[in-house]
Structure 1
Amino acid sequence: MDDFDKKILQILQHDCTRSVSDIADQIGLSTTPCWRRIQAMEKSGIIKGRVALADPEKLNVGLTVFVMIKTNQHNPDWLNDFSQISEDFPEISEFYRMSGEVDYLLRVVVSDMKAYDAFYKKLITQASFADISSSFAMEEIKYSTALPVDYV
């Protein structure tokens, strides 16, 4: 990736609805080379997809819960099963395998505490856990889907 690609990617990460000609004008390229660069980044997998970001408050899922999971089953079968189970929970917006004290971290979005309680009760019937604890986000200070491009 050169500087043009980085600039294109920065623009698209903030607004993927921008026209190719608008992006090209902003970075000092003509439209066709700009379009080719975007196509190349999509083909190579640098650009994984283009999405619309929804407002959680307007969708009534304004409560963010970080769920820390510990298991005593550290094997590929358990992880595969739990990964499949997580697909049945639209409330799980992110799912990570961690190092340290916690084995897995989930980011869960729900409408309120009652909805989280229902989610929790359903989750614990689906898999075996050694421990589950939850932390509730009180305020979102920073949220971004844009990734830094300076490390390429």
Structure 2
Amino acid sequence: MLDDIDRRILRHYQHDPSLSAADLADRANVTTATCARRLERMQANGVIRGNYAVIDWHALGYEVEVSLRVTLDKTQPRAFEEFTEKAKNIPEVVEIQSFLGRVDLRLSVIARDMQHYQQLYRTTILTLPHIADIEALMHVARLKSDEVLPL
């Protein structure tokens, strides 16, 4: 479990993972050695899964984002596995989530424009196996996108 020192380190780390160990230690009010040792432990335990770049899709020319809610044909025993295996190979599918309930999966799809989306939808998305129903929701605005935890 995390103690107060771990939470202090994580609180600062999640806001700026590019901080040096010395700067992070200074902000968390611990020694550099303690900070480094605790970061290593939290990485080894899977608390910190890694650092990655957050890319602005719009800056790269992707103007359209669509959320597709997919219901699968549940009469097919491997429908979920076969669908997700194929969907993971579509570069424009940037996120796949699974659900319990009426909707089985949600795909987040990006496209350069509506023409690109329409072509992608007709030639790639609709050819995915075992789709029983699909609903498209056009993304208008992202009101909150934050993985910062209240530590």
Whether TM exceeds 0.5 here: the answer is yes
Give the stretch that moved more between structures: 112-121 or 70-79.
70-79
For the residues of structure 1 that align with 2:87 and 2:15, how far apart are their CA atoms?
28
For the residues of structure 2 that align with 1:103 and 1:74, how far apart are their CA atoms?
13
For the residues of structure 1 that align with 2:147 and 2:63, how far apart are their CA atoms?
17
How many residue pairs get matched?
149
Equivalent position SS for 2:59: coil
For the residues of structure 2 that align with 1:63 and 1:7, how far apart are their CA atoms?
38
Aligned to 1:117: 118
Q: CA RMSD in A?
A: 1.7
Aligned to 2:128: 126
How far is 1:69 from its partner? Answer: 0.3
Q: Residues 77 and 54 from structure 1, CA distance in 2 versus in 1: closer, same or farther, beyond 3 angstroms?
A: same
1:37-77 CA distance string (max 9 Å, x none) = 11011101111111011112111123221100011226662
The answer as to whether partners of 1:6 and 1:149 remain within 8 angstroms in 2 is no
Instruction: Report % sequence identity.
Output: 29
For the residues of structure 1 that align with 2:63 and 2:19, how far apart are their CA atoms?
28
1:73-127 CA distance string (max 9 Å, x none) = 2666221212211221122222111122211111222222122212212121131
Aligned to 1:23: 24
Q: Residues 26 and 93 from structure 1, CA distance in 2 versus in 1: closer, same or farther, beyond 3 angstroms?
A: same
Aligned to 1:145: 147
Q: Establish whether residue 55 from structure 1 lines up as the match of residue 56 from structure 2.
A: yes
Q: Normalising by the residue count of structure 2, what TM-score does the alignment of the two structures yield?
A: 0.89
The answer as to whether partners of 2:64 and 2:113 remain within 8 angstroms in 1 is yes
- Corresponding letter in the other structure for 1:2: D
For the residues of structure 2 that align with 1:72 and 1:78, how far apart are their CA atoms?
7
Aligned to 1:65: 66
Detail structure 1 runs of 4+ shifted over 3 Å in the superposition: none
Equivalent position SS for 2:13: helix
Consecutive unaligned residues of structure 2, counting only runs of 5 or more, are none
How far is 1:10 from its partner? Answer: 2.7
Q: How does 1:85-96 map to 2 (within 5 A)?
A: 85-96=86-97
For the residues of structure 2 that align with 1:130 and 1:66, how far apart are their CA atoms?
17
Q: Normalising by the residue count of structure 1, what TM-score does the alignment of the two structures yield?
A: 0.88
For the residues of structure 2 that align with 1:14 and 1:43, how far apart are their CA atoms?
20
The answer as to whether partners of 1:71 and 1:130 remain within 8 angstroms in 2 is yes
